[in-house]
Structure 1
Amino acid sequence: MNYRVIKEDDLFLLTDSSGNIHEGDEQGLGLFTKDTRFLSQFEVSVKNLEMILLSSNAAENYIGTIRLTNKEKVENGEIKVWRESIAMERKRFIAEGVLYETVSFRNHNVYPVELEIGIRVDADYKDMFEVRGYLDGQEGTHHPVETGKDRIRLSYTGSDNVERATIVTFSPQPKTISEKEAVYTFSLAPFGTAEIDISITPEIDRERPQTRDRSEAIRRLEESYRQWDAACTTVETDNETFNALVNRSKKDIRVLLTDVGYGQFPVAGLPIFAVPFGRDSLIAALQLFAINPDIAKGTLKTMAAYQGTRADPWRDEQPGKIMHEIRCGELANSGKIPFTPYYGTIDATPLFLVLAAEYYHWTGDEAFIGKLLPNIERALEWVDTYGDRDQDGYVEYFQESSKGIANQGWKDSGDSLVHKDGSLAKAPIALAEVQGYVYDAKIRLAAVFDRLGQPDKARGLRESAEKLKADFARDFWMQDEEFVAIALDHEKNQVESVTSNPGHCLWSGLLTEEQAQKVADRLLAPDMFSGWGIRTMSTKSTGYNPMSYHDGSVWPHDNSLCVMGLKRYGFHDHANRVIEGLIETSKHFEYDRLPELFCGYPKEEGYPIPYPVACSPQAWAAGTPLVFVKVILGLMPDVPAGIVRLSPSLPKGINRMVIKNLRVGNGSLDLLIQKYNDVHTTLKVLHNSTGLQVVTG
């Protein structure tokens, strides 16, 4: 990472490694909230010394610490300040909508040193889509800068008639404040110190969060992290790399949590996608059940609140459809982009249904599912009507919005659907994995409707699902490759690329036993498995490129769904090989963190190659190691039926796993899994307050 990011709720700061946002930044750095950049410049400099970076750390996500020191200062051949004798530290955190930073200095010389400190700020109030270079043409008005003895106020009224402002406050009072710069002069005594406190508060239409005493602000923030840890499952193994990976994921998920009024749910990722995302948030919530099932409820409520209500081609909206992405900046508010929200995703609606069913089976929360039932029924209706455009039994997508997304599955880049001859598939397109999500949703929800006393509805869902499974086996199976096609194109021709997408069909249970065996073996064959993980596309396929976003790279979340599928069909060794590869991968990335994606080069080349613009942290990448916990345990709760199924299988390098506070239903489990050799693994239930029967095997 060549940037540093901290976040809390809807506010995040993205700077270079030295903690600065330079004037004229073209890297997308800034302080952001509500899809708007509230700081486009933030530079702290020592005007009379040249400083160099010592260390830069944001491992905790909510707090960043940057340390610098000075180069030697020479005047007329005489050393005035020895090198590395002035220590500078920048410590910052975000709490309750305010950015706090403390800049401190320490003199390690036996003589006093004069320092002149400049703090420059500016705000361009660009929409995130402008910052990322997707659109341009800001049409609002920047107002004159307001200054006081200890503050600077920058402001702007957008074309959406919203006034946005940034209040920068300094303590102690600076020597001078000009239009956009505060200047301090310090005479540091021998071994003396000095400190500057800065608070930066975004303001929208004259409303802004309360600025607290910073010790109270950090106390409240740290307490919220302690509460998160206490609510999560504890995982301890004899493999320190895996322990670090799981702990990192829990921290990353916590920093990505946001609440827009319906409960906490994970936004997609930093720095570009710190907004509600249908597909990403739903998959991340599915990944989190073994660690914290509460997040599923907040995610479901949020998605239900924004469920489509009308046919609106501008936003690719239809009744019952689950949204893709919400933006709330100037471009969205003024109608220049359709993200208010935008509904151009084909998989969010069936994934919403899968999450609802999984939540019910994991928690037994019949009261909540009863309240959600109208949303579930509308989503099911969308699947069978608007989702199936030509009534052929498959859910397909087609972009209607002029400023929408063309490819509306998770592989949404323009070149992600490639025929064998190299041509790109044309829409409407029926993706393989989406049919799997639909099948899984209907099978799971049939059990829910049975429980709710609606057997006719349950029977109809099962019959529809079984017909889909039979048709899919016929229409998507590539005889030459003995593998599932990624999609059917607008003429119902197979898109004959070998990709990772059929691994999702394993997760959904859509494949026949014979097909599942062949798909599982191919996913672990050298053309698909790099040694670090399963590639998005086979090295033998026409469109393969190891540096491509979707045509040869490795996505951890994609692997996590494949791993769940491999486990579902009983391919324990296949699943463990993928888990082992990604555990090893994490050691090569900063903070022991799996990135959004990395390049698909083979492991024989020595180390995983980073993808240049991967989000980090990213929700479904952070969720991947948490899926591994579920898969290793072979955990399948069915709370309404009164049982918890466990089928543990430890990968190489892990011989002992202790699980505490694994919440299922109305209680929790503590478990001990031990492996004595390749064929002998034992499971011991240390604690069970769920009232459920634990079934093994």
Structure 2
Amino acid sequence: MEHRIIKEDNLFLFSSHSGDISQEHAQGYGLFTKDTRFLSEYRISTTDVPFYLLHSAADQNYKGKLIYTNREVRHGDAHILRADSVLWTRQRWIYQDVFYETIEFDNRGVEHAEFEMHVDLAADFLDMFAVRGYEHGNRGEMRQPDIQPREVTFRYTGSDQVKRATKIVFDQAPVQSKIVDEDRMVVRSVFHVRLPAGQTCVFRIAIQPEIEDGSVKQAIAPKTDQEALAELESSYETWRNSCVQVESDNEQFDEWIHRSIQDIRVLLTDLGHGWFPVAGTPIYAVPFGRDSIIAAIQTLIMNPSIARSTLLTLADYPGTKIDPWRDEQPGKILHEIRYGELANTNTIPHTPYYGTIDATPLFLVLLAEYVEWTGDQSIVTQLLPQVEGAINWIFQYGDRDQDFYVEYYQESSKGIANQGWKDSGDSVRHADGRFAEAPIALIEVQGYVYDAFQKLAVLFEHMGRIEQARKLSQFAQQLRQKFQQDFWCDSLDFPPVALDKEKQPVGTVTSNPGHALWSGIYREEQAKRVAEVLTGPLMFSGYGIRTMASSEVPYNPASYHNGSVWPHDNSLIALGMKKYGLHAQANTVIEGLFRAAKSFEYRRLPELFCGFDFEQGDPVPYPVACSPQAWAAGTAPVLLQTMLGLFPSCLQRKIYLNPQLIKGVNNLRIRNLRIHNGTLAINVERSTADGAVKCVVLENTTGLDVVLMNGCIHR
């Protein structure tokens, strides 16, 4: 990757591969929190002795490491300093809203080394939307930097009247600090480095954003850097121990799962109810509805506490009124929250913004799934007002024309036109390339509604809410019957992506119908046909299912939504295939994504990648894909669930298992699988003699019965 990201809670650093931040870079590098860039320049350089980069890593997410060494220094014919004599190491991490960096020079040579180190600093306090070029509003007042012997502070009063500051503290005083660029208010702090042969010297820097409203509370440098690092590493160890433990006979597969566990942790933020997954770095490190919900569903097998925190967090922000500016209606689940200057001044509607058609039914799906995994019915009682509000929104506002289908229509002038997960402006296209006109009923959303109502009906009946259960179940069955007729193109022998405003099918072959496999809304023969097409040559690249078939007019393998491969999209489709008993097709998808993951740095699947064929070489990265990204990180665990055929039902007091191992994995041991009131440990092994898969329960403290299945979950 050309960049490096480290993050902890609400603070993250987005830098170049070499570790620096510069306003000269168009990528939008910086130190960010609360949708504001608190550091726009952070470059460390040397005079007299030139260095070059040897190593750059941020694989642990919460800390990074950079190693440089020097080039030869000569004066005429005389050696001043031999090449590779001095090692320069930069280690950095984030803890409790403070960014720490330790800079160490180690002279391994025989000559004395002496040079200056320059630390260039600036803070422009730009809103994230302005950094990315999406939106610009009125600017506030930037003050002159406050330069003290061991501190530099940048201050800004925004047009929202919020005072923001960035404080930089050095552990030793520089020789001097002064402004070297008046226009950009760049401060250069100069340190003199004297390094005899065999000696080392260390500099330490702590940088903290400050906001006057108290949302960033910790005092600067509350601990020594090593104390902070030790506590940070301890918190990661605690996290790993709380998650499912996976060990197989394929080291690369294990690395893939462990990478997901690590990446999910770095994307978690506590907004008052425990760890909640933000959508992704660097652009979307904020609460999302759809993205966070899907990530929570994907990670139920990893750690179900994420789902609980996600439900409680989103329940704090239900729509309460009709507000076209924010695409808000009562009971609707939010799409996105922003916290910066542009949101505070109402320049953008993200306070929060509600322009998503799928977050509301998915919220209900997550609730029901969480109860099936944990048996925690108390959360249903706790969130009953929000649950009933979401149900009412589906009936009253989601289905505006009362035709059983939930549709979207953009009302906000600065909102999103396409409000499903494929939310780019060109993502819903007719076969001739025309854009579909709203109101648009997406195929996957009808599946989400069906699934939500089916699951809630079972849950409500179990809780004694019989009439409510009957109403939801009846609607779900009517929706299913109508869907199976309207959402099928005979000319394609495949479902359309949507119905347009005239109720005409948008007849392009896309991946969207695969989500309806997950929801279970198809007849069995329809499901088989959908799976056949999705794993066929026009849709399956060898690395995953494309968002659009290569035969379609709008297809472009480098398009955001019209030919690329999205791991999360594939993961839900594969889970749906498994539910229909289509094991071979599900394994085809898993094997493709695993093949792709092995080609990316750290075995990390990005948000998306281009949809070029496998035969053309390694997967081609999409240039601005978020990485790490929540539902991409959630892909590996939900595919693990798919391999296991694992479907807990605390309401039935059973755990259903139907394992099928992918190629290259012949033994798989799972421990600390948290279900109901305990944990489950199993071993799955493929026989070398006949290829049969055997599953052995090693431990079961859940209080539920384990049922080994043949066939499908959807009945």
TM-score tier (shorter): over 0.9
1:612 matches 2:612? no
* CA distance, structure 1, for counterparts of residue 482 and residue 466 of structure 2: 24
Amino acid at match of 1:476: F
Contact preservation (8 Å) 1:249, 1:626: yes
The corresponding residue for 1:332 is 343
Correspondence for 2:62: 62
Q: Is the 8 A contact 2:164 2:212 kept in 1?
A: yes
Q: Aligned equivalents of 1:662 and 1:499: distance in 2? A: 34
Which position in structure 1 is the counterpart of 2:171? Answer: 171
Q: Is this contact kept in 1: 2:23–2:29, CA < 8 A?
A: no
> For residues 356 and 445 of structure 2, what CA distance do their matches in structure 1 show?
11
Q: Offset at 1:74?
A: 2.5
In the alignment, structure 1 residue 356 sits paired with structure 2 residue 367: yes
Counterpart amino acid of 1:74? R
- Letter of the 1:477 partner, please give it: W
Residue 204 of structure 1 corresponds to 211
Letter in 2 for 1:429: I
- 1:10 and 1:34 in contact (8 A); partners too: yes
CA contact (8 A) 2:6 2:12 kept: yes
Residue 49 of structure 1: CA displacement? 2.1
Alpha-carbon distance in structure 2 between the residues aligned to 1:25 and 1:580: 37
Pick from 217, 238, 247: which aligns with 1:227?
A: 238
Q: Note the alpha carbon deviations across 1:159-186, whole angstroms, 9 max, x for none.
A: 0000000000001221112241211102
Contact 1:418 1:542 in 2 (8 A): no
Please name the residue that 1:309 is paired with.
320
Alpha carbons 1:668, 1:689 under 8 Å: kept: yes
Shift of 1:30: 0.0
Distance 2:535 2:57 in 1: 36
Partners of 1:145 and 1:115 lie apart in 2 by 26
CA–CA separation in structure 2 for the residues paired with 1:23 and 1:517:
53
Instruction: Output the CA distance in 1 between the equivalents of 2:209 and 2:218.
Output: 8
Residue 708 (structure 2) pairs with residue 696 (structure 1): yes
C-alpha offsets along residues 606-661 of structure 1, whole Å, 9 cap, x if unaligned? Answer: 21111111111010000001011111111111112211111111111111100000
Does 1:499 find its partner at 2:506? Answer: no
Alignment-derived partner of residue 94 in structure 1: 94
Deviations 1:324-354 (A, max 9, x none): 0000000000110000000000000000000
**1:161 lines up with 2:168 in the alignment:** no
Task: Calculate the TM-score normalised by the size of structure 1.
Answer: 0.99
Query: Partner of 1:17 in structure 2?
Result: 17
2: CA distance between counterparts of 1:687 and 1:137?
58
CA distance in 2 between partners of 1:611 and 1:84 (Å)? 36
Correspondence 1:264-663 to 2 at 5 A: 264-663=275-674
What one-letter code is carried by the residue in structure 2 that aligns with 1:556? P
Q: Structure 2 CA distance, aligned partners of 1:23 and 1:518?
A: 52
- The offset of 1:679, in angstroms, is 4.9
State the SS of the aligned residue for 2:687: strand
**2:3 maps to which residue?**
3
Checking the alignment, whether the CA contact within 8 Å between 2:248 and 2:669 is kept in structure 1 is yes
User: What amino acid does structure 1 have at the position aligned with 2:651?
Assistant: P
Aligned to 1:247: 258
Can you list the C-alpha shifts for 1:126-184, whole angstroms capped at 9, x where unaligned?
Answer: 00000000012442000111011100000100000000000000012211122412111
**Counterpart selection for 1:680 from 667, 684, 692:** 692
Residue identity opposite 1:472 in structure 2? F
SS of the aligned residue for 1:640 comes to coil
Counterpart Cα distance in 2 of 1:667 and 1:216: 34
Encode CA deviations 1:642-687: one digit per residue, 9 max, x unaligned: 1111111111111110000000001000101111156511111100
Distance of 2:87 and 2:23 partners within structure 1:
25
Q: Partner amino acid for 1:446?
A: A
How many residue pairs match? The answer is: 697
Q: Deviations over 1:361-392 (max 9, x none)?
A: 11111112211111111101101110011111
C-alpha separation between the residues in 1 aligned to 2:178 and 2:10? Answer: 30
**Residue 92 (structure 1) shift:** 0.2
d(CA) in 1 for partners of 2:143 and 2:211? 14
Cα distance in 2, alignment partners of residues 496 and 440 from structure 1: 24
Q: Is the 8 A contact 1:25 1:40 kept in 2?
A: no
User: Which secondary structure state, in structure 1, belongs to the residue aligned with residue 315 of structure 2?
Assistant: helix
Pair 1:187 & 2:194 matched: yes
Partner of 1:114 in structure 2? 114
Structure 2 residue identity aligned to 1:134? Y
Give the distance between the partners of 1:431 and 1:285, measured in 2 at CA. 22
Residue aligned with 1:228, SS: helix
Which AA in structure 1 matches 2:32?
A: F
**After the TM superposition, which of the residue ranges 180-189 and 558-567 deviates more from structure 2?**
180-189
Distance 2:226 2:113 in 1: 29
Q: Partners in 1 of 2:691 and 2:311 — Cα distance? A: 40
- Local SS of the residue matching 1:227: helix
SS at match of 2:119: strand
> How far 1:206 moved relative to its partner?
7.4
> Against the structure 1 CA distance between its residues 331 and 374, is the aligned structure 2 distance closer, same or farther, given a 3 Å change threshold?
same
- Counting aligned pairs with the same residue, the percent is 53
Amino acid at match of 1:260: L
Give, as a single letter, the amino acid of the residue that structure 2 aligns with 1:689.
T
8 A Cα contact 1:126 1:138, kept in partner: no
Please give the TM-score of this superposition, normalised by the length of structure 2: 0.96
Q: Equivalents in 1 of 2:278, 2:560: separation in Å?
A: 20
2:182 equivalent in structure 1: none
How far residue 79 of structure 1 moved from its aligned partner, in angstroms, is 2.9
Can you give the 5+ residue segments of structure 1 that lack an aligned partner in the other structure?
Answer: none
Counterpart of 2:713 in structure 1 is none
Structure 1 CA distance for aligned equivalents of residues 385 and 142 of structure 2: 46
Measure the CA separation in 1 of the matches of 2:288 and 2:644. 29
- SS of 1:683's equivalent in the other structure is strand
Whole-Å separation in 2 of the counterparts to 1:566 and 1:520: 7
Q: How far apart are residue 78 of structure 1 and its match?
A: 3.0
Paired with 2:500 and 2:79, the residues of 1 have a C-alpha distance of 72
Measure, in 2, the Cα distance between the counterparts of 1:285 and 1:649.
24
**Per the alignment, in what secondary structure is the counterpart of residue 291 of structure 2?**
helix
Provide the secondary structure at the position in 1 that maps to 2:343: helix
CA distance in 2, matches of 1:679, 1:318: 54
Is the CA contact 1:51–1:71 (under 8 Å) kept in the aligned structure 2?
yes
Cα distance change of structure 1 residues 679 and 188 upon mapping to structure 2, 3 Å threshold? closer
Q: Which runs of 5+ in 2 are unaligned?
A: 180-186, 710-715
Q: Letter of the 2:471 partner, please give it.
A: G
Taking the aligned partners of 2:359 and 2:75, their CA distance within structure 1 comes to 65
Assess if the C-alpha contact under 8 Å between 2:162 and 2:213 holds in 1.
no
1:217 is aligned to 228
